[in-house]
Amino acid sequence: MEPQTPRIVIVGGGFAGLYAAQHLARQPVTVTLVDRKNHHTFQPLLYQVATAVLSPGEIAAPLRRILNRARNTEVILGEVTGFDTAARTVELAGLGEKTELPYDILIVAAGARHSYFGHDDWAADAPGLKTVEDAVAIRRRVLLAFELAERRAYLTGKRETPSFAVVGGGPTGVELAGAIADIARRAMARDFKAIDTTAARVTVYEGAPRVLGAYPESLSKSAEKQLRELGVTVRTDSIVSAVEPGRLQVGGEWIAADVILWATGVAASPLGKLLGAETDKAGRVKVAPDLSLPGHPEIFVLGDMAALVDAAGKVVPGLGAAATQEGVATARNIARDLAGKPRVPFTYRDKGSMATIGRHRAIAEIGRWHFTGTLAWLMWALIHVVLLIGFRNRLMVMSEWAWAYLTRERSARLITDLADDPQPPSQPPPQVP
Ligand X SMILES: Cc1cc2nc3c(=O)[nH]c(=O)nc-3n(C[C@H](O)[C@H](O)[C@H](O)COP(=O)(O)OP(=O)(O)OC[C@H]3O[C@@H](n4cnc5c(N)ncnc54)[C@H](O)[C@@H]3O)c2cc1C
Residues of this chain that bind ligand X (CB under 6 A): 11-17, 34-37, 43-44, 46-47, 79-80, 109-111, 129-130, 171-172, 269, 271, 303-305, 318-321, 323
How far apart are the C-alpha atoms of 145 and 320, rounded to whole Å? 32
For residues 115 and 427, which CB has a smaller minimum distance to ligand X in the complex? 115
For residues 132 and 149, which CB has a smaller minimum distance to ligand X in the complex? 132
Q: How far is the CB of 261 from ligand X (least distance, A)?
A: 11
The residue among 276, 300, 282 whose CA lies nearest residue 104 is: 300
For residues 129 and 230, which CB has a smaller minimum distance to ligand X in the complex? 129
Catalytic residue from among 150, 175, 206, 224: 175
For residues 101 and 200, which CB has a smaller minimum distance to ligand X in the complex? 101
Kindly compute the dihedral angle of the four CA atoms of residues 122, 126, 127, 129, in this order, to the nearest 10 degrees: -120
Q: How far is the CB of 306 from ligand X (least distance, A)?
A: 8
Q: How far is the CB of 317 from ligand X (least distance, A)?
A: 8
Q: How far is the CB of 359 from ligand X (least distance, A)?
A: 17
Burial 197-231 (b: 16+ CB within 10 A, else e): beebbbbbbbbbebbbeebeeebbbbbbebbeebb
As a whole number of Å, the end-to-end CA separation of the chain is: 69
Q: Are strands 285-286 and 306-307 parallel, antiparallel or unpaired?
A: parallel
Contact, 120 vs 400, CB < 8 A? no
Q: How far is the CB of 110 from ligand X (least distance, A)?
A: 4
Contact, 292 vs 329, CB < 8 A? no
Specify the amino acid at residue 326: E
* DSSP at 199: G
For residues 46 and 195, which CB has a smaller minimum distance to ligand X in the complex? 46
Contact, 260 vs 165, CB < 8 A? yes
Answer yes or no: 175 catalytic.
yes
How far apart are the C-alpha atoms of 425 and 225, rounded to whole Å? 31
For residues 30 and 51, which CB has a smaller minimum distance to ligand X in the complex? 51
How far apart are the C-alpha atoms of 267 and 112, rounded to whole Å? 5
Q: How far is the CB of 291 from ligand X (least distance, A)?
A: 11
Contact, 163 vs 257, CB < 8 A? yes
Tell me if residue 119 falls in helix, strand or coil: coil
Show which residues are catalytic. 175
